[in-house]
A and B are shown apart, each in its own frame.
Chain A
Amino acid sequence: MADLRNTFVGIKSPNPFWLASAPPTDKQYNVERAFKAGWGGVVWKTLGEEGPPVVNVNGPRYGAIWGADRRLLGLNNIELITDRPLQINLQEMKAVKMNWPDRALIASIMVPCEEDAWKAILPLVEETGADGIELNFGCPHGMSERGMGAAVGQVPEYVEMVVRWCKQYTRMPVITKLTPNVTDVRKPARAAKHGGTDAVSLINTINSIVSVDLDTFAPVPTVGGKGTHGGYCGPAVKPIALHMVAEIARDPETSGLPISGIGGITTWRDAAEFLALGAGNVQVCTAAMTYGFKIVEEMISGLSNWMDEKGHRTLDDITGRAVRNVTDWQFLNLEYISKARINQELCIKCGRCHIACEDTSHQAITKEKNGVRYFEVMDDECVGCNLCVNVCPVDDCITMEALPIGTVDERTGRVVTGQYANWTTHPNNPMRKGAVEPAE
């Protein structure tokens, strides 16, 4: 039986599944329901400074995009940080930590970018018994207009400065939550590390307009005829999040910095992928907001069974395992040659591979043979692009197969050598150098 116990920057939880700072973690009521359901930890919805709480809009806060059968694929929101009084949140956090000592409880914090503001709130949070703090440098809407959230996260110097204050004024581990709304996520990550952060978490939500109401010509969600950009999350953002996690994991300057992975995690498989790319644990929000807290049962069971099947005993056996295989394009092996293969037994003859290839790619798939509908790859035209695999509606019907060493690529007439060669040494590369070792 795989051991799912998680220790992240010293914070222990029975499994690596935390709920991200968001509406599901705004109250004791919700959080205790989550813990009953089996979640390993929560990051409490972001606390602001003492005083009159922020207010939210009283119209719609969420917009969405859907796939077939109205399956929610992407969600955006214009909700702000907690709109409940600070003292109530602190009291409830303290009660929850007392009731659930084995679960992780992290306080997300966002106060003005002033030393005194941070200095004031940290002791209050510490007093609750929270296991750590997460600095919300990511919220892209509303708060950023007031110089907080993403407005801080987008300026590496501010990130470093605030992290430094927090490390100075609290003994609690500091997790710095990053915004994806930057050109290069490594810059704020490096800044956080320079400031002394214990970990980073990412991604926060992405600036977005999910749709436009074509009757009113207003963005959705529409509040009294107007809309604003919201933060995008859910399954649709997972690829963006995975990339950003990997970039930080493989950056020599931040390599080894603990990462809490966030972004569209919906199933155990999504979680495992984040772990493989370097995350020490994961945070979930949209999936819970779509299906309720019960989904964590599937995540625990799925991750555990997969680990058992593959012989991974602990989370440490997984974390970061894929990082070494993420490289730059220039180091990809240009001597690796693959061709698509269509399994005729599985083919249902929809012809999507053919028309995708014919109209938009390399004219490498037939449409008939002996006057009968028949889809087959022509090796002398196939560049191995994988488009047909992706558009085929049948699992495993089209696969990519590497040409064995010694065979001839019918498209180029060249023998497959099996020798590694990349762009850095390619004759067509005007910037080529001498021989380069393969990427690690």
Chain B
Amino acid sequence: MAQGVLKQGIAPGRLDPAALAANFSDLHPPLDRHEAHVEADRCYFCYDAPCMNACPTSIDIPLFIRQIATDNPVGAAETIFEQNILGGMCARVCPTEQLCEEACVREEAEGKPVKIGMLQRYATDIAMEGHYQFFERAAPTGKTIAVVGAGPAGLAAAHRLATKGHDVVMFDARPKAGGLNEYGIAAYKATDDFAQAEVDYVTAIGGIDIRHGQALGRDLSLDTLQAEYDAVFLGLGLGGVNALRAENEMASGVDNAVDFIAGLRQASDLASLPIGRRVVVIGGGMTAIDAAVQSRLLGAEEVTMVYRRGKEQMSASLFEQDLAAAKGVTIRHWMAPKRVLTDGDRVTGIELAYTTLVDGNLAETGETAVLACDQVFKAIGQTLATDGGALELAGGKIAVDGEGRTSLRGVWAGGDCATGGDDLTVTAVAEGRDAAESIHRFLMGGGNG
């Protein structure tokens, strides 16, 4: 065991650089050509394919797989990008076991679906590495659309708008585009700076101007955007973090999981990142898993995920839960944080209340337990960072209709900040794309925004 693992408290350099490089390499190494062909040959080319219907972006999966099987990966990539211009990232981060691969008839036949995500990555990697561009811009319309947030929803909207001949100005609060793809996803899912490569690939179509350091409510107002642009698309994501509502949670050593994940993604030297010897992550979603697993990979000796309900209620997919277990993360269910224990300025543990369901409502049993730890990550959900102003909200999100139209004329929204759909990259892409189509119809006189 590397001695660094035993360093007390929160410390950097628990593992040597070689171990860190191995830990943070590609979670699923890409398929090579032969592997892709063998896997593609497993596809039955189903009629009205269930996988395609299970994909939020409705990619024609049987067709692209057949294109791979016939040694036409570039054609396959075009089929993917026609529906999902962020098909490269979705191939890496989609919970395929809950979407296309769950619907695959081979899942029913033999419990082994075609590896659709891996095949999608095979095709999109070839096209992106070869700088193949499949879309041309229509004749200029003279319209300019403001897109707030350069994450998956905003990028998908911007690309589709650009193809229609509109100009797009994107505003993003962060120094880099990509949103959660750049700041919110575990490093081993998007290696080799893939998120930025994808931003470059998407914006290569032209007509998309990205302005950084521009946050809505701070540097921009919706009123101004509405006045200055022909339409507005909001893809802000969820900038706020839910509080634990546990005693002492402001203690140093209690951090937001999203900040930890973002910091890790932006770190030039993983060995410089401090991590606790014993880490507790509060939450049951993908963010909690990403934080817990990456804590282990940085060299934390003990990592425990604590979720207040049962395994079935966790929003992290079964695959992600298994991944965490395989990486040595302990998952504790039916426990909720009560109090962070400190010694001076230092976290020493967390007191947890056992929970249960009483008449369908979560309740504490009265029993408590203490987990000794040096660091606590909060991952119990994010919230809209704005109060919405004139926008109508629903359930804490911007209310939209089936086309992404908000309560304000000329303003659309999509992705995590808006109602509807799961908070998945692929859903955000679908919503951004569809909102762009709606905006286009509106601007070109076909709709009523």
Q: Is the CB of B41 within 8 A of A367?
A: no
Distance (Å) between the CB of B399 and the closest chain A CB?
Answer: 30
Q: Is A37 an interface residue (CB 8 A)?
A: no
Distance (Å) between the CB of B96 and the closest chain A CB?
Answer: 18
Q: Which of A348, A352, A355 has the most CB of B within 10 A?
A: A348
Q: Is the CB of A350 within 8 A of B105?
A: yes
Which of A68, A70, A351, A394 is within 8 Å of B46, CB to CB?
Answer: A351
Q: Is the CB of A394 within 8 A of B109?
A: yes
User: What residues of B have a CB within 8 angstroms of the CB of A352 in the complex?
Assistant: 44-47
B-facing residues in A357-380 (Cβ within 8 Å):
367, 373
Q: Is the CB of A69 within 8 A of B38?
A: yes
- Give A319-357 as 1s and 0s: 1 = Cβ < 8 Å from B's Cβ atoms: 000000000000000000000000000001111101100
Q: Is the CB of A367 within 8 A of B109?
A: no
Q: Is the CB of B41 within 8 A of A69?
A: yes
Interface residues of B (CB under 8 A from A): 34, 37-38, 41-42, 44-50, 105-106, 108-109
Q: Is the CB of B48 within 8 A of A351?
A: yes
User: What residues of A have a CB within 8 angstroms of the CB of B108 in the complex?
Assistant: 348-349
Q: How many angstroms between the C-alpha atoms of A367 and B42 in the bound complex? A: 22
Q: Is A393 an interface residue (CB 8 A)?
A: yes
Distance (Å) between the CB of B41 and the closest chain A CB?
Answer: 4
Q: How many angstroms between the C-alpha atoms of A393 and B41 in the bound complex? A: 12
Q: How many angstroms between the C-alpha atoms of A382 and B376 in the bound complex? A: 66
Distance (Å) between the CB of A281 and the closest chain B CB?
Answer: 35
User: Closest residue to A397 on the B side, CB-wise?
Assistant: B109
Distance (Å) between the CB of B333 and the closest chain A CB?
Answer: 34
Q: Is the CB of A350 within 8 A of B38?
A: no
Q: Is the CB of A68 within 8 A of B38?
A: yes
User: What residues of B have a CB within 8 angstroms of the CB of A355 in the complex?
Assistant: 47
Q: Is the CB of B50 within 8 A of A373?
A: yes
User: Closest residue to A356 on the B side, CB-wise?
Assistant: B47
Q: Is the CB of A367 within 8 A of B38?
A: no
Which of A68, A70, A349, A354 is within 8 Å of B105, CB to CB?
Answer: A349
User: What residues of B have a CB within 8 angstroms of the CB of A68 in the complex?
Assistant: 38, 41-42
Q: Is the CB of B47 within 8 A of A350?
A: yes
User: What residues of A have a CB within 8 angstroms of the CB of B37 in the complex?
Assistant: 69-70
Q: How many angstroms between the C-alpha atoms of A349 and B54 in the bound complex? A: 14
Which of A70, A367, A393 is within 8 Å of B44, CB to CB?
Answer: A393
User: Closest residue to B110 on the A side, CB-wise?
Assistant: A348
Distance (Å) between the CB of B310 and the closest chain A CB?
Answer: 31
User: Closest residue to A355 on the B side, CB-wise?
Assistant: B47
User: Closest residue to A368 on the B side, CB-wise?
Assistant: B48
Q: How many angstroms between the C-alpha atoms of A189 and B386 in the bound complex? A: 90
User: Closest residue to B47 on the A side, CB-wise?
Assistant: A351
Which of A70, A354, A393, A394 is within 8 Å of B47, CB to CB?
Answer: A354
Distance (Å) between the CB of A147 and the closest chain B CB?
Answer: 42
Q: Is the CB of A350 within 8 A of B41?
A: no
Distance (Å) between the CB of A394 and the closest chain B CB?
Answer: 7
User: What residues of B have a CB within 8 angstroms of the CB of A70 in the complex?
Assistant: 34, 37
**With A351-B48, A352-B47 given, can you name 13 additional A-B contacts, CB distance below 8 Å?**
A68-B38, A69-B38, A70-B34, A70-B37, A348-B105, A348-B106, A348-B109, A349-B46, A349-B50, A351-B47, A367-B48, A393-B109, A394-B109
Which of the four size classes fits the interface of chain A? Answer: 10 to 19
Q: How many angstroms between the C-alpha atoms of A60 and B443 in the bound complex? A: 63
Q: How many angstroms between the C-alpha atoms of A367 and B46 in the bound complex? A: 12
User: What residues of B have a CB within 8 angstroms of the CB of A394 in the complex?
Assistant: 109
- Give A44-73 as 1s and 0s: 1 = Cβ < 8 Å from B's Cβ atoms: 000000000000000000000000111000
Q: Which of A350, A351, A355 has the most CB of B within 10 A?
A: A350
Distance (Å) between the CB of A388 and the closest chain B CB?
Answer: 12
User: Closest residue to A67 on the B side, CB-wise?
Assistant: B41
User: What residues of B have a CB within 8 angstroms of the CB of A69 in the complex?
Assistant: 37-38, 41
User: Closest residue to B62 on the A side, CB-wise?
Assistant: A350
User: Closest residue to B103 on the A side, CB-wise?
Assistant: A349
Q: How many angstroms between the C-alpha atoms of A350 and B43 in the bound complex? A: 10
User: Closest residue to B38 on the A side, CB-wise?
Assistant: A69
User: What residues of B have a CB within 8 angstroms of the CB of A373 in the complex?
Assistant: 48, 50
Q: How many angstroms between the C-alpha atoms of A394 and B44 in the bound complex? A: 11
User: Closest residue to A365 on the B side, CB-wise?
Assistant: B47
User: What residues of A have a CB within 8 angstroms of the CB of B45 in the complex?
Assistant: 352
The 6 closest A-B pairs by CB, nearest first: A351-B47, A68-B41, A355-B47, A350-B46, A348-B105, A348-B109
- Give A384-425 as 1s and 0s: 1 = Cβ < 8 Å from B's Cβ atoms: 000000000110000000000000000000000000000000
Q: How many angstroms between the C-alpha atoms of A406 and B159 in the bound complex? A: 66
Distance (Å) between the CB of A26 and the closest chain B CB?
Answer: 32
Distance (Å) between the CB of B176 and the closest chain A CB?
Answer: 42
Distance (Å) between the CB of A353 and the closest chain B CB?
Answer: 9
Q: How many angstroms between the C-alpha atoms of A68 and B68 in the bound complex? A: 13
User: What residues of B have a CB within 8 angstroms of the CB of A367 in the complex?
Assistant: 47-48
Distance (Å) between the CB of B173 and the closest chain A CB?
Answer: 45
Distance (Å) between the CB of A65 and the closest chain B CB?
Answer: 14
Q: Which of B34, B108, B109 has the most CB of A within 10 A?
A: B109
Distance (Å) between the CB of A375 and the closest chain B CB?
Answer: 9
Q: How many angstroms between the C-alpha atoms of A350 and B110 in the bound complex? A: 13
Distance (Å) between the CB of B426 and the closest chain A CB?
Answer: 22
User: What residues of A have a CB within 8 angstroms of the CB of B106 in the complex?
Assistant: 348
Distance (Å) between the CB of A288 and the closest chain B CB?
Answer: 25
Distance (Å) between the CB of A312 and the closest chain B CB?
Answer: 34
* Pairs across A and B, CB under 8 Å, 22 listed: A68-B41, A68-B42, A69-B37, A70-B34, A348-B105, A348-B106, A348-B109, A349-B50, A349-B105, A349-B108, A350-B44, A350-B46, A350-B47, A350-B105, A351-B46, A351-B49, A352-B47, A355-B47, A367-B47, A373-B50, A393-B109, A394-B109
User: What residues of A have a CB within 8 angstroms of the CB of B42 in the complex?
Assistant: 68
User: What residues of A have a CB within 8 angstroms of the CB of B50 in the complex?
Assistant: 349, 373
Distance (Å) between the CB of B391 and the closest chain A CB?
Answer: 37
Distance (Å) between the CB of A120 and the closest chain B CB?
Answer: 52
Q: How many angstroms between the C-alpha atoms of A348 and B43 in the bound complex? A: 13
Q: How many angstroms between the C-alpha atoms of A336 and B37 in the bound complex? A: 43
Distance (Å) between the CB of B67 and the closest chain A CB?
Answer: 16
User: What residues of B have a CB within 8 angstroms of the CB of A393 in the complex?
Assistant: 44, 109
Q: How many angstroms between the C-alpha atoms of A352 and B66 in the bound complex? A: 15
Q: How many angstroms between the C-alpha atoms of A69 and B37 in the bound complex? A: 7
B-facing residues in A174-228 (Cβ within 8 Å):
none
Q: How many angstroms between the C-alpha atoms of A350 and B45 in the bound complex? A: 8
Q: How many angstroms between the C-alpha atoms of A9 and B50 in the bound complex? A: 58
Q: How many angstroms between the C-alpha atoms of A351 and B44 in the bound complex? A: 9
User: Closest residue to A394 on the B side, CB-wise?
Assistant: B109
Q: How many angstroms between the C-alpha atoms of A394 and B291 in the bound complex? A: 43
User: What residues of A have a CB within 8 angstroms of the CB of B38 in the complex?
Assistant: 68-69
Distance (Å) between the CB of A298 and the closest chain B CB?
Answer: 23
Q: How many angstroms between the C-alpha atoms of A349 and B50 in the bound complex? A: 9
User: Closest residue to B107 on the A side, CB-wise?
Assistant: A348
Q: How many angstroms between the C-alpha atoms of A351 and B46 in the bound complex? A: 6
User: What residues of A have a CB within 8 angstroms of the CB of B41 in the complex?
Assistant: 68-69
B-facing residues in A57-95 (Cβ within 8 Å):
68-70
Q: How many angstroms between the C-alpha atoms of A351 and B108 in the bound complex? A: 13
Distance (Å) between the CB of A306 and the closest chain B CB?
Answer: 27
Q: Which of B47, B50, B106 has the most CB of A within 10 A?
A: B47
